[in-house]
Structure 1
Amino acid sequence: MTAANEFRALVLTKGDDGTVTAAFETLTDDALPEGDVTVRVSHSTLNYKDGLVLNGLGGLVRTYPHVPGVDFAGTVEASSHPDFKEGDAVVLTGWRVGEVHWGGYAQKARVKGDWLVKLPPGLDARRAMAVGTAGFTSMLAVIALEKHGITPDAGPVLVTGATGGVGSVAVAILAKLGYTVEAVTGKAESEAYLKDLGATTIVPRGEFAEPVTKPLLKERWAGCVDAVGGQMLANILPQMKYRGAVAAVGLAGGNKLETTVVPFLLRGVNLLGIDSVMCPKAEREEAWTRLVTDLPLDKLDAMIHPATLADLPDLGKRILKGAVTGRVVVDVNG
């Protein structure tokens, strides 16, 4: 039986040759980093960034040994922060936790209270981690489109990378809000999954394979939640409707964007950058509150793939290959 001040964690170390390895260790509270709130973690999740960290890629981690895990949810065990008390249910996404700061692939975490958000009524820790950074980012993207006048009657909204975490949640939210959703995927076997989430049309990824040769093409979409970037985003911009908006949330297809300013100048298209990492707390609280009402929880439950800490090294490799569909929810006590 583990003592009260002991906890299990997935710990990364880096060898002299630069190789990053993962091992499970039993740590004590003294090993936790500085912070004014200690959280007893119950659940975490898996994001693309977690896959990079688990495999020692991207230069995201500055110091080792390191506990990864970009997101976590649980209950407050101890707090000197005025906004939190023992027993509060909380969630954390972003703030470079799991990269620069120790993260949620452990049974305990210690962080700054300013980084935490209290779980809104109607959302437990398991579902909060089904949302995670991916779903939270999706909600921020939808809110951004709304603020730029993209309403359900403005025209269809395209979602790229639709079977991934961000895309899946975006499809479900947009469909519930009454938008006509067109979902991009290269996986024919996922069409039924996307239509069940609410997509009305499946757009083959191959339509965006070749670079566009004209600065403007036929107007197709009023809005877009783009998790891919690169060539796909370059192909989408010339096909946006007048005063359409694209919420850019990812770069799975690359960080280089070769396009022209013509869609911005002649059609008034808006390219909206969505940052979920350093997002101000008030906007975080708005997004988490909206998720309870705007994300169909039955659809969220259908996205969940349960996992344990022991599954993460393998899952970290799979997500980098695009082989993870929906949302992985990690029971850190399982």
Structure 2
Amino acid sequence: MAQTGFVKLAQDGKARTGVITTPRGEIRTPAFMPVGTAATVKAMLPESVRATGADILLGNTYHLMLRPTAERIDRLGGLHRFMNWDRPILTDSGGFQVMSLSGLRKLTEAGVTFKSHIDGSKHMLSPERSMEIQRLLGSDIVMCFDECPALPADRDRITQSMRLSMRWAARSREAFGDRPGHMLFGIQQGGLEQDLRGESAEALKAIGFDGYAVGGLAVGEGQEAMFGCLDYAPDMLPEDKPRYLMGVGKPDDIVGAVKRGVDMMDCVLPSRSGRTGQVFTRRGVLNIKNARHQDDPRPLDEACSCPACTGYSRAYLHHVFRAQEIISSMLLTWHNLHYFQEIMAGMRAAIAEGRFDAWEAEFHATRALGDIEPL
């Protein structure tokens, strides 16, 4: 079994580039993980996702445990075989989705009992059950089970929640056991309270994990507050382990997080936006449903090498979106994922060459130009 681990190759300011090694392949960092909620990145074939430059996908424990069930996926050979993706997969713990999606739920020291948002059936998620589900799925990077309160929340609520998550982290570590070739990440909590973030980081380091996530951000606090927290939160986590910011985000969120020492991110934004006609380009965001595109023979982004930009005009993409053709979701999702991976590749190269600040300045300046002039 190949070793797992993280090697930092270069650092520029706080921005880092490196490699996470897993038996299923290397993950170049900073890494953006497309989200494959129900064992698929919506509107994409796995080989298309790989062609955008993605080294790793994220799968959702909560969704997969409800449908088709982790036990069924295990019987069918595990998540990689089930979804035809032979590279690394990270699975979240299910905690965030239980809090945000399920109907009636009851939180106790043992775990969370909840009703499925699909059919109302009752379920229980605990640190032990989350580890069992993620083992059945066969994911390469497993997240410990935590509780994530929505912000804003009062300090007492955040403190209680964080300490419960730290007790659950210890139980997750124990239930995970010894699994060569698989990694377990702890999740720092504490809201926007610096001392609570510090307490959480110390608790996680005492337990010992293969990587560390900054959890509980991108839950409504706004970019300024998030960056304020990221100015110190990643520094509290071990230097020699990967740092993962969960659920982020927009292109400028991603660049700002990497600038502050984050190595991994995930977000549904590029794929979800592709299905709703929102397109991310070097020059900012455009909306393909706007009438200004209907006679435009130019590509979305002349510098982009994705299939949407090399083969199709804005006029065509406007037409198929308006006509609700499936190819619209396919092409716009591919373009968005390609652009996000291009940002990651650009940052990796810039950090390696010690020119991250110049790269970042150009990134913001080009985005500030706005979309090309209408014809």
- Shorter-chain TM-score bucket reads under 0.3
TM-score (norm 2): 0.22
Higher strand share: 1
More helix by share: 2
TM-score normalised by length of structure 1: 0.24
